[in-house]
Amino acid sequence: MKKINILVICNHEEILQTILRLINNNENWKAVGANADEKAIELFHQHAFDLVLLGSGINEEAENKLRKIFTHQNHDIKIIQHFGGGSGLLSNEIEAALSDNKNGNFNVE
């Protein structure tokens, strides 16, 4: 089975590292992270991601910019927001996003 590649963007380094650890504990997922918009854009251009997870600390202007750049480069990219709440919620958010994609269309808010 192909691993699901996830780009995690979170401006808080400690939270970013926690999210990455939780995601990478799932043998079917592989996550890399960025704590700055420029780094996230660079990673997105260099790798094929199946999902982008927006974490805490991203303001509305930055989020809109990232969404525009990512969807311009990949119209089918899945973008979800994670508001915290523990590993169970994180896993459920990702699973729901991946499940929704089976229908062929996807961009979870």
Pull the structure tokens for residue 67.
């969404």
- Cα angle for residues 62, 66, 72 (degrees, 5° grid): 145
Q: What is the pTM of this model?
A: 0.85
* CA–CA–CA angle 64, 93, 53 (5° rounding): 35
pLDDT single digits (tens) 2-20: 899 999 999 999 999 999 9
pLDDT in tens, 18-46: 999 999 999 999 999 999 999 999 999 99
**Beta strands across the sheet bearing 29-34:** 29-34, 4-9, 51-54, 78-81
